[in-house]
Structure 1
C-alpha cells in the first residue's frame, strides 16, 4: 500500500472522507478508501457540543486510538492543537504518532480569529521536531472565516508554514477557480480543499488541488438521511435501502477482533 505521503503525489485526485466515529470509518474503509480523516465538527456534534473551543481533544484522541487498528491511513483533525503552547501541541501530536496516526490537520485560528502566522508556525516547527514523520497539513483559515480573505495574504501564511516544516496546506472556503489556481501555483506543497459545491474533484485536480476532503459533509448528510427515514416511516412511505444490520454488526465484530479492513 502506498504511504500516506505518496497518496498526495499520485496521478489522480485524492478524495479523503472524514469520519466521526468507528462505524463511519469502517464504512469508508470497506468502500475502498486507502486513507480516512476525522472531522472535528462531527466528533463534537456527536457529543452534543459545538465545533471548536478545544472541547474535542479527548474524544478525538480516543477515536484515533480506535481507527488506527484499521488497515488504512488515518489523519486527525486536531483543531489548533488544543493549546497556545507549541510544546503542548507537539506532545499531543506525538501521542497520536505513537498510536500510528499518519497525519494531522492544524488550523491557524483560535476562538474564531486568525492567530499571528509566527505563532502558528512555531507550533508546526515544534510538531516536526518531535514527530518528523507526521504529515502536517497546515490549515489557512482566511477564506473560511472571512478574515483578510485574499490570495496574496493566504500565500504569505502558507509559505511561512511551509518554511516551518508543513507537509501540506489546507485552504477551506476557497471558491473561485482563479483563486484556487493562484493558490496551487504559489504554494510548493500539496494543496487540500474541501469538497466544492460547484467544482468536481477532477476539476479541482485540474486546478492543481491534490487532496479534497469531505469535511463534515458526510456527518451532516447522515443526520439529514436519518430524519428522512423517520419521516418516510411516519408518512407511510418506503424508506431508502440501507446496509443491513448483519453486515454492519459483522464489521464491528471484525474490528473488535482486530480483523477489520
Structure 2
C-alpha cells in the first residue's frame, strides 16, 4: 500500500501547466475497471456517485456502506484509489484513518462543511492535522474548501482557509465549484496542488485550459455516474 501512496503523491507533482492529473470517479467496481482499462493511472471516488449507486441521497450514506463500497473498488483494480468520505462521518481521526486504510484507499477528500454550513476553519485545520498525524505518510489528504458552494464565494476567503489546511498538513486543496476565472488568483495564493472539478461532458473550459489557469488535478464529482445513468435511461426507454 505504501508504494501506491507514493505513486499517487508523485502524480500530483512536477506537472507542467496545461497537463493536470485527470482522476475519474468510479461509483462501483465495474466502473472502476472501465476507467483503469482506459488507461487512467489513479481514481478518486465521488461520495455522491457512490451514494446514488447504493440508493441513498448525497450526504446520507452510512459510513459502513461507504467504506465497504470503497473496499470493493480498491480490491478490483491495481491503481491507487482516493476516497471521498464527505466530512468524515463524525469519526475520530485515528479511526477514520484506520477505516480508510482497511478499505485500501491511498487518500481521501475531507469537506469543511456539514449540512451546508461551513465549519470554523481553525477547527477544521486542527482536525486535518490530527488526521495527517494519524496517517503519517500513508494517506494523501485532499482538503475541500466549500466557500464557493456554501459560503460567500470570496476567493480571498478560500485562500485563507486553504493556507490553514496546507499548514495543517493537507497534500492538496479542493476549492469545489470555483469558477474558472478565479483560478489564477487561487493558484497564486495556494501552496501545493489544487484540485478543480470539471464537467465530463466537454462543456466549459477544456482540461488543458483549466491546467493553464492553475488546476493541478481535475475530478468530476458524480458527473460520470450521472452521465452513465442518463445513457442507461435512454436504453431502458427504448426497451420499454
* Structure 1 and Structure 2 fold alike (TM over 0.5): yes
Q: Which deviations, in whole Å up to 9, do the C-alpha atoms of 1:87-131 show, x marking residues without a partner?
A: x13312222124431110000000111010012112111111110
Distance 1:37 1:143, change over 3 A: same
1:198 deviates by 1.1
CA distance in 2, matches of 1:51, 1:89: 22
Partner SS for 2:94? helix
Partner SS for 2:183? helix
State the partner residue of 1:52. 59
Q: Which deviations, in whole Å up to 9, do the C-alpha atoms of 1:35-71 show, x marking residues without a partner?
A: 1111111111222221114x34112211222222221
Give yes or no for the alignment of 1:223 onto 2:226. no
CA distance in 2, matches of 1:219, 1:56: 19
State the partner residue of 1:128. 132
**Deviation >3 Å, runs of 4+:** none
For structure 1, the 5+ residue unaligned runs are 235-261
1:26 deviates by 1.1
State the partner residue of 1:213. 219
Paired residues in the alignment total 228
Distance 1:210 1:14, change over 3 A: same
Of residues 155-164 and 99-108 in structure 1, the stretch that sits farther from structure 2 once superposed is 99-108
State the partner residue of 2:194. 191
Partner SS for 1:19? coil
CA distance in 1, matches of 2:112, 2:54: 24
State the partner residue of 1:17. 24
Judge conservation of contact 1:18–1:215 (CA < 8 Å) in 2.
Answer: yes
State the partner residue of 1:249. none
1:13 deviates by 1.5
CA distance in 1, matches of 2:40, 2:188: 27
CA distance in 1, matches of 2:220, 2:86: 16
State the partner residue of 2:84. 77
For structure 2, the 5+ residue unaligned runs are none
1:141 deviates by 0.5
CA distance in 1, matches of 2:180, 2:82: 27
Aligned Cα RMSD in Å? Answer: 1.6
Kindly indicate whether structure 1 or structure 2 has the higher relative contact order, using CA contacts under 8 Å at least 6 residues apart. 2
TM-score (norm 1): 0.83
CA distance in 2, matches of 1:104, 1:176: 24
Partner SS for 1:193? strand
